[in-house]
């Protein structure tokens, strides 16, 4: 059960959009929303934290605190949620700072954008590391994508990354929503074994969800381009969310490989992506 949503922000448009998305989600889940801003401090730094003259929250922790406090107050005026904020410093990686104090009852919501500062901070390497290191669900929200409910959800399962470990937390997450859920099994091989695996997965999913959800759909597809066909499937279904479970490197590399993102801006998802862990 999600009781807290942590939303890292660098005050960019993509991050601000993710904050608004997270606030609406927190209201539905009755969860606390925590805004987080992190400063990377060089190991050679000998000054006093917060001594910078700049009033830009990107450069001044004190200005960041004021901006976060104002954001929390504004959000509480619009949504029926509890809010708080943190300003943190690290000489290590941003990903470790973001995931340091999270657990299974926490969700991390991160904004994604183009190849700008926000891309370096929230996508590519750091996003991959957050997803890899987090012990909680991580939700990626594309820039300019507004929350409009979760009426249609796709849960993608591949042969390599079966996804069963994410079923129970996914089922718990979906309880407040009246969603039409499609479980997509996608594989490169059109074999009897693949079909048997799909049937076994279907039985397991139905056992986990039992009678709590009326709108469960199951589809199986064969593909030589897993990432592209998952994306195409979600778009064709007009789904509001793509969900995956990640244990090993296979699906993670396919979907979040930094080189592909840098090479082609179209690789930034057009829809929110939620990743669960085993």
41 confidence band (pLDDT: 50, 70, 90): low
Task: Indicate the pTM of the whole model.
Answer: 0.83
pLDDT tens for each residue of 170-212 = 999 999 998 999 999 888 878 888 888 888 888 888 888 876 7
Report whether CATH 3.40.50.620 matches the domain 152-270: yes
- Rama region for 261: left / alpha / beta (φ>0; ψ in -120 to 50; rest): alpha
What residues does CATH 3.40.50.620 cover in the chain? 4-142, 152-270
Return the pLDDT at 158: 72
Helices (H), 30-123: 61-78, 94-99, 117-122
- Token couple for 82: 């509890």
Q: Does 32 or 201 have the greater pLDDT score?
A: 32
Name the architecture of domain 4-142: 3-Layer(aba) Sandwich (3.40)
152 confidence band (pLDDT: 50, 70, 90): very high
pLDDT tens for each residue of 209-251 = 876 777 899 999 988 877 788 888 999 999 999 998 865 444 4
Report whether pLDDT(121) > 60. no
Report whether pLDDT(153) > 90. yes
Rg (CA), the chain: 19
Is the distance from CB of 76 to CB of 107 less than 8 angstroms?
Answer: no
| H-helix or E-strand spanning residue 241 | strand 241-246
- Rama region for 148: left / alpha / beta (φ>0; ψ in -120 to 50; rest): alpha
| H-helix or E-strand spanning residue 251 | helix 249-256
Return the pLDDT at 56: 54
Q: Does 198 or 260 have the greater pLDDT score?
A: 198
Return the pLDDT at 116: 40
**Cα(69)–Cα(62) distance, integer angstroms:** 11
Return the pLDDT at 219: 93
**Cα(44)–Cα(245) distance, integer angstroms:** 39
Strand partners, 155: 183, 243
Return the pLDDT at 128: 67
Return the pLDDT at 253: 53
Helix axis angle for 124-133 and 249-256, nearest 10°, is 150
**Cα(133)–Cα(129) distance, integer angstroms:** 6
Phi and psi torsions of 183, nearest 5°: -95, 115
Beta-carbon contacts of 153 under 8 Å, excluding residues fewer than 6 positions away, are 174, 177, 179, 180, 181, 182, 239, 240, 241, 242, 243
Percentage with pLDDT > 70 across the chain: 74
pLDDT tens for each residue of 62-113 = 888 899 999 999 999 999 999 999 888 776 777 778 888 787 789 999 887 6
Return the pLDDT at 49: 45
**Cα(85)–Cα(197) distance, integer angstroms:** 45
Return the pLDDT at 236: 93
**Cα(258)–Cα(94) distance, integer angstroms:** 16
CA distances from 138 to 19, 60, 151, 194 (A): 14, 27, 20, 29
For range 121-139, the mean pLDDT: 69
The string of DSSP codes covering 253-264 is HHHH-HHHHHH-
């Amino acid at each position: 059960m999600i009781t807290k949503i942590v939303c890292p922000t660098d005050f960019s448009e993509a991050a601000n959009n993710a904050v608004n998305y997270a606030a609406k989600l927190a209201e539905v889940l009755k969860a606390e929303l925590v805004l987080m801003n992190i400063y990377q401090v060089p190991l050679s730094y000998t000054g006093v934290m917060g001594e910078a003259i700049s009033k830009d929250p990107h450069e001044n922790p004190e200005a960041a605190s004021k901006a976060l406090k104002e954001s929390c107050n504004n959000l509480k005026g619009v949504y029926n949620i509890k809010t708080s904020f943190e300003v943190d410093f690290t000489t290590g990686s941003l990903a470790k700072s973001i995931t340091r104090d999270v657990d299974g009852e926490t969700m991390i919501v991160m904004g994604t954008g183009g190849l700008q500062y926000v891309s370096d901070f929230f996508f590519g390497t750091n996003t991959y590391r957050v997803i890899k290191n987090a012990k909680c669900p991580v939700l990626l929200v594309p820039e300019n994508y507004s929350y409009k409910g979760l009426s249609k959800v796709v849960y993608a399962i591949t042969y390599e990354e079966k996804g069963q470990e994410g079923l129970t937390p996914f089922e718990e997450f979906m309880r407040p929503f009246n969603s039409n859920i499609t479980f997509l099994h996608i594989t490169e091989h059109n074999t009897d074994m693949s079909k048997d695996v799909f049937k076994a997965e279907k039985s397991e999913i139905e056992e986990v969800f039992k009678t709590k959800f009326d709108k469960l759909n199951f589809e199986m597809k064969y593909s030589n381009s897993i990432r592209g066909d998952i994306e195409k499937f979600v778009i064709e279904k007009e789904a509001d969310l793509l969900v995956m479970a990640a244990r090993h490197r296979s699906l993670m590399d396919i979907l979040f490989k930094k080189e592909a993102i840098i090479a082609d801006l179209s690789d930034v998802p057009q829809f929110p992506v939620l990743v669960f862990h085993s």
